[in-house]
């Protein structure tokens, strides 16, 4: 047995990107989700949505290509792909709430096995509330994927029976991608889809605050030549 690996943020993004199919429309939330854009398979046509009104967002703009009037949700200058469109904010959020987006990919503080998501406010006494587009993205997209570390820096689990931080959305999460595993939320419980090479389910369970169910064959997350993470 190899020593268990802990996936980097880029490797978590690689796993998410591999799950986005041809033709999908996707909103990438601020923070870790923006990394997913770097790993989307180039042979798939995927429409990226940015909450500030862009549908058909391209790569980050460098140097002279950067235009201050064309930025993404993280305030980074971006480019457009052929066929892109730009709307006002009401129309942009109608795309979310109206159920037109196939995937919303969000960062998270906590996910519960009933699909509840907390990602906008911690219980730190001086925390400043900031919701942004997260609550709309959580309720609107057909599938909500969450990217986060499996535990906090001090080792407390982020996958729980019940969230302790204020909720972003109720029963909204479909899949969680962590540095150790890919976990689906199904029928009010965690279904373990894949686990990193070298880690046992018991070891992962010890870092998880609700039972992990294994349905069918458990798949392994392995690193390939250049460090690219893949589910096998």
Partner 1 sequence: MINKIKSSHREALTVIHDGASIMVGGFGDSGIPFELISSLLDMGAKDLTIISNNAGAGERGIAALIRANRVNKVICSHPRPPRSEIFADAYRSGRVQLECVPQGTLAERIRAAGAGLGPFYTPTGYGTRVAEGKQTCVIDGKGYVLEQPLSADFALVRAHQADRLGNLMYRLAARNFNPLMCMAARHTIVQADEIVEAGSLPPEYIMTQALFVNAVVLAESDE
Which residues of the shown chain bind partner 1 in the complex (CB under 8 A)? 50-54, 67-71, 75, 86-90, 92-93, 96-97, 121, 126, 128-136, 139-140, 166-170
Phi-psi region of 216 (alpha: psi -120 to 50; beta: other; left: phi over 0): left
Sign of the C-alpha dihedral computed for residues 48, 64, 10 and 136 taken in this order: negative
User: Which residue of the set 22, 51, 156, 203 is catalytic?
Assistant: 51
Q: Which is nearer to partner 1, 135 or 231 (CB)?
A: 135
Q: Which is nearer to partner 1, 20 or 96 (CB)?
A: 96
Asked if 232 is an active-site residue, the reply is no
Q: Which is nearer to partner 1, 68 or 225 (CB)?
A: 68
Q: Comparing C-alpha atoms, which of 97, 103, 100 is closest to residue 16?
A: 103
Those residues whose C-beta lies under 8 Å from the C-beta of residue 33, and which sit 6 or more positions away, are 13, 16, 105, 106, 107, 147
The Cα–Cα gap between 209 and 193 comes to 17
- Using alpha carbons, list the distances in angstroms from residue 145 to 86, 94, 183: 25, 20, 10
Side-chain-side CA neighbours of residue 137 (13 Å): 29
Q: Which is nearer to partner 1, 69 or 232 (CB)?
A: 69
Token pair for 175? 């899949």
Residues with active-site annotation: 51
């Amino acid at each position: 047995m190899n020593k268990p690996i802990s996936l980097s943020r880029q490797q978590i993004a690689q796993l998410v990107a591999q799950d986005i199919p041809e033709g999908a429309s996707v909103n990438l939330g601020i923070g870790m989700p923006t990394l997913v854009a770097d790993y989307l398979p180039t042979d798939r046509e995927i429409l990226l949505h940015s909450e500030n009104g862009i549908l058909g967002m391209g790569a980050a703009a460098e140097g002279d290509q950067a235009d201050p009037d064309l930025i993404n949700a993280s305030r980074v200058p971006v480019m457009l792909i052929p066929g892109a469109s730009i709307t006002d904010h009401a129309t942009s959020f109608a795309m979310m709430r109206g159920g037109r987006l196939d995937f919303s990919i969000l960062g998270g503080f906590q996910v519960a096995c009933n699909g509840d998501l907390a990602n906008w406010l911690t219980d730190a006494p001086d925390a400043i509330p900031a919701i942004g587009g997260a609550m709309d993205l959580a309720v609107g997209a057909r599938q909500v994927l969450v990217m986060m570390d499996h535990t906090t820096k001090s080792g407390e689990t982020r996958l729980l029976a019940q969230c302790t931080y204020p909720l972003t959305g109720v029963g909204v999460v479909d899949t969680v991608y962590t540095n150790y595993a890919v976990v689906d939320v199904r029928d009010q419980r965690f279904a373990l889809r894949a686990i990193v090479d070298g880690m046992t389910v018991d070891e992962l369970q010890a870092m998880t605050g609700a039972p992990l169910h294994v349905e069918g064959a458990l798949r392994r997350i392995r690193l390939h030549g250049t460090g690219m993470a893949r589910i096998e």
